[in-house]
């Protein structure tokens, strides 16, 4: 009887070791791209790292210029992107969209005048605008407009405080947090200039990740956990943009 019990215990230990080894072997490490010098992309990356941890995998996030990031992810040198618009696959066919939005992008204007409302971008034509260097959408939108170019968001806000221009253009998520963190009376204009959802993308060589990410993210979205995770990560990152 004692020998039988020992055999059972030994069998259970062996099974446990086999289970542990097999599950450990499945753990993988991936590298996704995020757009460099973009705090919201950083927040998406940190949030996606948490999601990968729940799946038993490790995720590293590499910050790169926007186009280079897409090219490297598409050819498979990187394993995916932390957050891009839904149309990305039409231009980069090796990238497969995870069909649950992880965040959103809203282009907006910030200024000192309350109750201003612009229904179309052409209404900004009479005003002096501040934009960020290297942000493609604002550089293209303001061709032919009177504009000043700032090297970073902190510089742009200082220029706005000094009345160097009338309105600054940028990511509404970032502008909203800056508004909370400063004593200046800033107003974010409504409606946003444009809006779109952002989705993680995975290179097709790792397409087995898609249903796993979709299931986990959908559950987190339904409980509100996904939005809170992104917002909390973003709040921590954005605090360093405007120094007290």
Residue where the block lists tokens 């934009």? 131
Q: Can you give the pLDDT at residue 115?
A: 64
For 91-99, what is the mean pLDDT? 95
**At 20, is the pLDDT very low, low, confident or very high (cuts 50, 70, 90)?**
very low
Q: Can you give the pLDDT at residue 26?
A: 67
For 176-181, what is the mean pLDDT? 75
Q: Can you give the pLDDT at residue 124?
A: 93
**Would you say residue 207 has pLDDT above 70?**
yes
**At 199, is the pLDDT very low, low, confident or very high (cuts 50, 70, 90)?**
very high
Residues in the chain: 244
Mean pLDDT of the chain: 85
More confident residue, 199 or 25: 199
Question: Residues 115-161: pLDDT tens digits?
Answer: 677 888 999 999 999 998 767 788 888 999 999 998 877 788 889 98
**pTM for this entry:** 0.73
Phi and psi for 26 in degrees, rounded to 5? -80, -20
- Domains in the chain (CATH in brackets) are 21-104+198-238 (3.40.190.10), 105-194 (3.40.190.10)
**Would you say residue 72 has pLDDT above 60?**
yes
Phi and psi for 105 in degrees, rounded to 5? -120, 130
For 196-206, what is the mean pLDDT? 96
């Amino acid at each position: 009887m004692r020998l039988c019990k020992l055999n059972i215990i030994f069998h259970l230990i062996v099974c446990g070791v086999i289970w542990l080894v097999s599950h450990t072997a499945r753990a993988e490490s991936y590298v996704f791209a995020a757009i460099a010098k973009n705090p919201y992309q950083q927040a998406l990356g940190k949030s996606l790292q948490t999601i990968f941890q729940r799946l038993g995998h490790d995720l590293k996030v590499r910050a790169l210029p926007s186009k280079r990031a897409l090219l490297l992810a598409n050819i498979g040198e990187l394993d995916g992107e932390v957050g891009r618009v839904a149309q990305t696959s039409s231009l980069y066919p090796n990238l497969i969209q995870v069909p649950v939005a992880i965040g959103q992008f809203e282009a907006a204007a910030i200024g000192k005048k309350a109750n201003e409302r612009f229904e179309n971008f052409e209404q900004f034509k009479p005003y002096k605008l501040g934009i960020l260097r290297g942000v493609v959408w604002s550089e293209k939108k303001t061709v032919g407009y009177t504009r000043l170019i700032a090297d970073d968001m902190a510089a742009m806000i200082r220029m706005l405080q000094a009345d160097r221009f009338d309105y600054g253009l940028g990511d509404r998520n970032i502008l909203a947090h800056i508004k909370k963190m400063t004593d200046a009376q800033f107003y974010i204009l409504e409606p946003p200039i444009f809006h779109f959802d952002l989705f993680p993308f995975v290179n097709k060589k790792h397409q087995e990740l898609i249903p796993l990410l979709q299931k986990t993210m959908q559950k987190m979205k339904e409980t509100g956990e996904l939005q809170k995770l992104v917002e909390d990560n973003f709040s921590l990152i954005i605090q360093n943009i405007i120094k007290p």
